Every structure is written in structure tokens, then in C-alpha cells.
A and B are shown apart, each in its own frame.
Chain A
């Protein structure tokens, strides 16, 4: 997944990668920093090195492979992993004996034993710190036996064990005897949520989800029915749709979840198996034997980041995370210096990617005046016209490490490809997506005058664009390219039948080669970009997105359906950190309304919409007078928000003593907690149930926030929180700890045995079964606060007009959960805030800034290219039956009454091919998917004999 990103960054003209270097000092101010770097010696010149690996093959020295977490060896001359960017080796001088073999072997003359440490100076306008984290080292926790018992591994080590490029080549086995385990235990919260043993009081946010994932993948890799048990205090699958994954693991795939923190691990010396001692839910000590134990280690800030922060003069918190404000999530304590990812606080990949874009947005705003003054532009060579030439096809077959090569006989497939019609060149590669292979493909295109290229590797969804760019770089039209997916659709799924997989790979390659011969050159239409942005929704997210763009100098129209700005945050008072939401909102609204580049339209409703990326037109009706206005714009940011679920449970709306957390917040703000003697809070109301399987993410912290206010105002008030799992992820764990210290009582209940609330004249009677006491409790409370979940705003009308995709819960769907978390599937359309899924105000702000950043990638260009995959009509043979006009879901084909022909505007054609499918005379063809180009695949497949 990360490989195409690495290549993209490596290939990007305006990204200068400086590896093996550290910051020595920083001087200057925002807009003009002078950064002094220490460039450590690599001992191999990365410019000259071709990454061929001859040096490492001849290196006689064995060193521990840190990349595989010490589970295997490497040479002293090494590269971290095969897809590394830049693809250049280095020498580890701690182990190198200086024998000179590598220097003699290197054809590129890249070895430099005399390389020395250097200094260099960079001038930059903004700085972003994304120094990340390292896994917690559990060797200090002697009761776990890590470092003593070989079959106790960390989750990072287990990741490498499961990886195809890992120490055991993806085979599930344990370190001691390389036997496949039949029973594995995961121990959660190792180095997290632990103020007692390691001092890391925070929750690392990611370990629950990765433990579930590791268990699921281990089950897939296992040859037996693998028993997976995850020992946890709470399962924190709080991200978008994460709960569904957890339920699948628990209910369908039989992963066991045990609520316990493990006491000790001891090894059975004869077998290497491990006895896990733990207290069960009723407090009795139990023992269970496992073949292997995985410690789910938390995220920790490395010492080097601490030093970096000192050099830059930025503040760190007690756990060494960068201090940020709840309302300015990527701004460090020093102007012009921003942060993102785990250095800002523990978080998962989607949140890190989001924050990275947010940091780019804010850093970019500082530099907006200078935009484009220091950048390079790609020079694409003139396209050569190959239309009249006979097809000359080059086939590149990928081993994908061992992903393909370990199953499919790649040399045999390559030899087979070489004999197919029109194929003039065929070869295999270890990783066809790596930078050096791109260079090789270019070389071969020129050398063999190739005019079609077939890559047999993985999915076109992830890799097609990259290969197409490689074609373009040598003057070949990008559409003269075809992929055969011999990994995802072959080696991965037929791994148990290598012979069949090899045969199928040949079939797929034959089909791809046949199709490639029929491919035509296609040219993308270049269109201008309207520099105005449209933001839908004037809540915290929408306003921040508007500011993000406005501060970069782009004009923004901000639509709000209500008569005032603010959205749901108008009903909130404080963040858990104590940030004053109303004060922030007031200042935010003032800033947005006074902004030169932002026009706010309140009481606005979208009534019509048309256009495509770069050139949208939206009609809105404004205010009570329903004044019509047509807005041209280049991009859209959707920030329609969410609301609190209105409970049907627990006598809500029937008894005034049952309120939601938001209402409790109002009561506390107005009257305080003085009159409260006992308050019961019930979690997961309207979340994690049959109607809404997902976790609403914010309710646990909301309950604890209110519980803390009550306890601080009136320590005598008894506060009970009835919960299923407490999900105070990240740094919010400290507030959970504080609440327990202040005497808030947390009682866990099971989903199938929820509490009962019975109103009585004396008070609300709440019945719940306590799992630790194994008793039914009855609590009399004067107030019951329901932690109601998050419900998406009703956007049916908007989606009817603008055709955005929503999930069953009504939240919008992003283009890619991990890699494109704020992009919508439609190009030029972005997403932020609670319209995407439940999230905190701080997270909404970061996401809004991220959406603005992504939108900037469009708005900063004066023109963009459209897809060439559009339908076209052969007007000569068209009988004007109008079937296409009636069938197109987007009303693109129109009958031009003047010219008496059917016309399809390629700028608005979506390229689905429905018109081509319905045309009774086949006079409509869809570029790149013409009938011949599909039928030839069927012919080629069946010509091989089924």
C-alpha cells in the first residue's frame, strides 16, 4: 500500500528527499528559517548507486537486521527494504570490517569508504515535524519474560513475521523452533495505560485495532484452526467502521477477547510454550497455555524527538508529545513550526494522513505569497505518434518479492509471454513498482521501440497511474498500457496450487497482451480551473476549511442552511482539555465573516448542481425570500456535520430526569452540580447496537468530561458511569484516570444485559449487573445522563442533487480509508468534520484544514487534465434512436436539433459506458474499453482452451 506513495514522493519534482540527516540548529522566523543539517555519511553515493545489490551479495559480514526487528540477519552493506526510496545501499560502519570487497564489486563506482559527516544549510519558510514514534520496549517488564522467552514477541516483531518480506517470508511460525503456533495470545496495553510500571499513562490508540488485524491475518496464514485470544482491559475500536471489523473477528472468525490484564508469563522449558496467568472477571486466578505470546506494545516518542524539540525550542508534554491547542491541532508552541502524526499524539494512519494534510495547509498559508516561485515543472517529452505502427509489445512480469514469485513460476510465464503475438520483449522483475524498474522500463521502451507495455503484477487500482506516467516520460501515450493482475487475482488466492496459478498467470498475461495490441492513443482534454471554492456547511469544520483556503488566497463561498454559523458546536461548552468552545466559536465566526476572501451565505439551500472538477456550477436559494444565486466554483468541500442521537431508550423524553450528555452539559453550565446527589451515566446509547453497529467515538470522553465537572464542583455527588468499553483513546486516558481518582465509579455491563432505568417518585432507579462483584446493583439517581451517539445530518436532498455517496449510517464515504481520508470518490470533492464520521472538535478542525489542503492541489493549478475515458458517437452510423439519451444516468448525450446528431460532451461524461452498452447499433464506443478491446480478452482467454 505504501509502495506507490514512496515512488510518488521519490518521483516528485518538488520534493527533495534528504536521508541520513538530522537537524543541528534552526534560526530565523516564520517565512524565513535557516536550518543547519548534519548529513551523516552513507559510504555509498546514492546518486551513483543503482540499487543492484552486488555489494551486499559479496559482503562477508553478518549484522542484525533491525528492519526485521532483529529476527534475521543482513549484511554490513545493506538497504532497509527492497522498495526503499531512494533505492541506494549504505554501509553500516559499526559492523563493516573494511575488507574492500564491495568497492571492488561495484560497477557503478558508488562506494566511498572516505565519506565523512557534512553540514548543509536549507532556507525554508515553514517547518513540519513528523518524527513519528517507536514501539515501547517491554524488556523492562520482567513479568512478561520478553527477551528471556523466545516465543514472547512484540507486535512489531509479529508484523514482520506475518510480512512476505519478513524474516520467515510470511510463514506463520514462532522464533524458538519455527513451528507453526496453534494458539496465540495478544496482551494489550503493554507500555500504554500504565502509570505504575512504565509511566505511559496515555492510550496508544492503535493497538486494539492492530491486534485484531494481526489475529485475523494470522488466522488466514495458519494451516490449522488457529486459536487467537486477545487479553484486554477495554477494546478500543473507535474509528470509522472499526467496530464492524471487531465484531467480525469476535462473532464470525472466533477471535477470543478476554477482559483481563495478565499477571505473569512463564515458559515451559521443554516445549517453549508459555503459561499465561491472569485473573478472570470474577477475580479468580487462571492459567492458560499458549504456543506464542504477542505483546501489543504502545507508541512512544523516541529520545531523538525530544532532542529535536529542544533544538527547535518547542514545548513537549509530560509524555514528550508536542504540545498543541485543542483549536489549533497542528500548531506547535513556536510560530512557523507545525506537527502531525504520532509526535502530536498517539493516532492511527487515517488520522496521521489527515493531520499531515492539515499541517501542509497551515504551513502553506504562511508561504502562499511565494507559491510557485521556487518550484520545478515536469517536462513531458512530445508524444510520438505510433498509431500507424504495428504493435510492439513489451511485457514486464513482476515477482513482487515472493508474493508472486513464491507461487507462480515467473520465469516460465515470462518465457511464455515472449512468444505471444506482437511481443518483442519480455522480462521479469523483483519489484516492478520500484524506482529502478521504472528506469529499466523506460530504457527498454526506447531500446526495443516498444509501443505497447504490459505489466503483469498487482492491481491497476493502485499501480496503473504510476506505470502510465513511466510511459509518458518516454513519449509514449499513457493509454498504450495494460496490466494483468497476477497477484491479487492469482498468486494470493491460489497459493495452495502453484501449478494452477502459473497456468492462470499465463492466461491472464495472454489476455492482457491481446488487449494491449488493440489499445489506441488517447488524449486528455485540458480544462481551466475556476479558482473559487464552495464549502457546504458552516459549522466548525466548514468554517475552518473556508479559512484554510481563504488564508491561501482563494475565494470561498461558504453555505450554511441555518440562519447563523456554528453548527452543532453551538450546543457545546468545553473540550475535555478545558478549551472554551463558545469563545472559540465567537472568534472563529468573527474571523470568517470579516475575511476578505470568504463570502458567507446563510439560510442557503442547494437546488441545482452540474459540472465537473475545476468547473462546477451550483444553484442555491438564499434566505426567506428564496433569492436565487448561481455559484461557479472549482472544488467542493462537504462539511454538513452531524447531531446527537435522540434516544428512544431508557425513558428519554418521558421523564425529565433522563437527559443526554449534551443536555447535562447545559445543566452544568447553567446551574452547576450543587444540587446533584447521584448521577448515573449510561454509555453506548444509540451506538454499538443492532441499528447502529459503529462506535460513536466521542461519547466516552464526553461522559468523563461531564463527570469530572460534577466531581470538581461537588465532590459529594456520586457519579456512576455504566459502560461496555471505555474508549478514552490517546491522551484522553489521563482524564479517565483522573475521574477514577476523584471517585467516579465505572461499572461495566454486557450488551445483552443492559441496565434498566425505572422512574420512581424518589428518584430514578437504575439496575445493572456488576461483573466484578457478580451482583445486581440498584442505584438511585436524581439524574440519568445518556451518552447518546452521533447521527449524521440528513443530507438526502443534497445527495439527490449532488450525487455524493453515503454509507448506511448516512456518513459520506471517502475515496480511500487510509490513503485518501478527506477525498471523496468524485474528483475535486473533499470531505471533513462529522459529515465523515463521529469525531472530536479538534479532529474536525484538523480534517477541515486537511480538506482545504487537498483542495489547494486543484485550486493552485490554472488548468487540469480530464480523463480520456469517455464515450464517443460514430454520428455517420447512428440512427438517432435516442436510446443513449434515455439511458445515461447523467443526461450527458443530447440530440442537437440543429445539426441533427447525438452529441456527448467529454468534459461531463463519467465514462461508465452505459450508453455504449445500450446502443443497438454499437455506434457508441467508450475509449479504452471499446468492444474490440474487451472481446479480444474473451477470445484470447478461450482460445487457450477452457
Chain B
């Protein structure tokens, strides 16, 4: 559909969001990503039945852990859409980018240079 969305988004392919480990989310933040989000199928439509529910649990867990250590947990989010919803994908990409811009850069980067 060639829908425009910000170029700062890079996609890492997984077979199902159920494969997204807590470690992936935390590593990304630890290595300096300003935000991470998981895009799964609509709830109830997972090809593997529960993958996106598992992903949501892990996203929530990652958010709690980041909040606990003083990094904004809201840098990690989960979105759901169907594969036929290109425009929604692009809209979420823009929304996430705007949201992260408001939060500013990953504080770890500041701490590392400070």
C-alpha cells in the first residue's frame, strides 16, 4: 500500500509475537533504543491461538520492570491489528514515534555520556 510512516522504525521479524521474549524488549532498551513496540494480530485471532496474549503479558512485565528501575515503562508498548490493516499499521507507527518524541531520548544514553 506504500503508506508513509517514520523511517526511524525498524522491524525485527518473529514467527509469532508469542516468540517475543522479555529479554528482547529489555535488551533493546538497554542497548539504546528509545522505544520498542510489539505488533501482534488482533486478540482472539492469533494463528497460534495465544501468542499475542503471551506477548501482551511480557510487554506489561517489561513496562513494570522498566518503571521499577526508573526508566519510563511507557517506552515499551503493544499494538494489535490484522494483516489487512496497512493504514492502521502506519497510524500506530506514527503514534509510537510521536509518543517517544514526547518522552525524549532513552535516558540510558544520557547516563552513559554523563
Interface residues of A (CB under 8 A from B): 220, 460, 485, 489-490, 492-497, 500-501, 503-504, 507-508, 511, 803, 805, 825, 869, 887, 889-890, 910-914, 916-918, 926, 929, 931, 934-935, 937-939, 941-943, 945-946
Q: A493-B4, A889-B48, A926-B19 are in contact. Are A914 and B54 (CB under 8 A)?
A: yes
Whole-angstrom distance between the Cβ of B10 and the nearest chain A Cβ: 6
Q: Is B48 touching A929 in the complex (CB atoms < 8 A)?
A: no
Q: Tell yes or no: B102 within 8 A of A by CB.
A: no
Chain B residues lying within 8 Å of A937, measured Cβ to Cβ, are 12
- B2 interface residue (CB < 8 Å to A): yes
User: Number of residue pairs across A and B with beta carbons under 8 Å?
Assistant: 110
**A500 and B28 within 8 A (CB):** no
Chain B residues within 8 Å of A497, by CB: 7
Tell me, yes or no, whether B110 is within 8 Å of chain A by CB. Answer: no
Asked if B18 contacts A912 (CB within 8 A), the reply is yes
How long is the Cα–Cα vector from A500 to B8 in the complex, in angstroms? 9
User: A912 to B16, Cβ gap below 8 A?
Assistant: yes
Contact status B19-A913, CB under 8 Å: yes
Are A917 and B54 closer than 8 Å at their CB atoms?
A: yes
The answer to whether residues A913 and B16 also contact, given A507-B10, A889-B50, A918-B54 and a CB cut-off of 8 A, is: yes
By a CB distance below 8 angstroms, the chain B residues around A946 are: 8, 32-34, 106
Set of chain B residues within 8 Å of A917, measured between Cβ atoms: 18-21, 54, 58
Out of A492, A503, A934, which one reaches B2, CB within 8 Å? A492
A-contacting residues, B93-113, CB 8 Å: 106
Is A939 a contact of B7 with CB atoms below 8 Å? no
Closest residue of chain B to A500 (Cβ to Cβ) is B7
Q: How far is the CA of A938 from the CA of B13 in the complex (A)?
A: 11
Residues of B in contact, count (CB < 8 Å): 36
Report 6 cross-chain contacts, Cβ distance below 8 Å, ordered by A residue.
A490-B7, A493-B7, A890-B49, A913-B19, A934-B19, A938-B24
Max count, chain B CB within 10 A of own CB: residue among A500, A503, A803, A918? A918
Query: What residues on A are CB-neighbors of B11 within 8 Å?
Result: 485, 489
Q: Could you tell me the distance between the alpha carbons of A115 and B23 in the complex, rounded to whole angstroms?
A: 66
Cβ–Cβ contact A938 & B15, under 8 A: no
Q: Quick one: given A914-B16, A929-B15, are A511 and B7 in contact (CB under 8 Å)?
A: no
Q: Which chain B residues (52-100) contact chain A, with CB distance < 8 Å?
A: 54, 58, 90
A919 CB, nearest partner CB in chain B, Å: 9
Q: A495-B2, A507-B10 are in contact. Are A942 and B28 (CB under 8 A)?
A: yes
Min C-beta distance of A944 to chain B, whole Å: 10
Tell me the minimal C-beta distance from A640 to chain B in angstroms: 20
- Known interface pairs A503-B7, A913-B16; 18 further A-B residue pairs with C-beta atoms within 8 A, sorted by A's residue number: A220-B2, A508-B10, A511-B10, A511-B12, A803-B49, A805-B47, A887-B54, A889-B49, A913-B14, A914-B16, A917-B19, A918-B54, A934-B14, A934-B19, A934-B24, A935-B23, A939-B31, A941-B12
Closest CB in chain B relative to A465 CB, distance in Å: 15
> In the complex, how many angstroms separate the beta carbon of A467 from the nearest chain B beta carbon?
15
- Once the chains bind, are B7 and A494 in contact (CB under 8 Å)? yes
A461 → B minimal CB distance (Å): 10
Least CB distance, B44 to chain A, in whole angstroms = 11
Determine the distance from Cα of A508 to Cα of B7 in the docked complex, in whole angstroms: 11
Contacts of B7 in A (CB 8 A): 490, 493-494, 497, 500-501, 503-504
Q: Which residues of B are found within 8 Å of A490, using beta-carbon distances?
A: 7
Q: Are B48 and A910 in contact (CB under 8 A)?
A: yes
Which B residues are CB-close (under 8 A) to A504?
A: 7, 10
Q: In the complex, what residues of B have CB within 8 A of residue A942's CB?
A: 28, 31-33
> Smallest Cβ distance from B48 to chain A, in angstroms?
4
> Which residues of the partner chain A approach B54 to less than 8 Å between Cβ atoms?
887, 914, 917-918
Instruction: Take A504-B10, A942-B32 as given contacts and tell me if A914 and B51 are in contact as well, using a CB distance cutoff of 8 Å.
Output: yes
- Tell me which residues across on chain B come within 8 A of A493, comparing CB atoms: 2-5, 7, 90
Cα–Cα, bound, A945→B33 (Å): 9
Among A490, A889, A917, the one with the most B-chain Cβ atoms within 10 Å of its Cβ is: A917
Complex CA–CA separation, A869 to B14 (angstroms): 12
Say how far A243's CB is from chain B's closest CB, in angstroms.
Answer: 14
Task: Give A220 to B54 CA distance when docked, in angstroms.
Answer: 36
Is A935 a contact of B19 with CB atoms below 8 Å? no
CA of A935 to CA of B21, assembled, Å:
10
- Residues from chain B with Cβ under 8 Å of A501 in the complex: 7
Question: Whole-angstrom distance between the alpha carbons of A424 and B69 in the complex?
Answer: 43
B1 contacts A by Cβ under 8 Å: yes
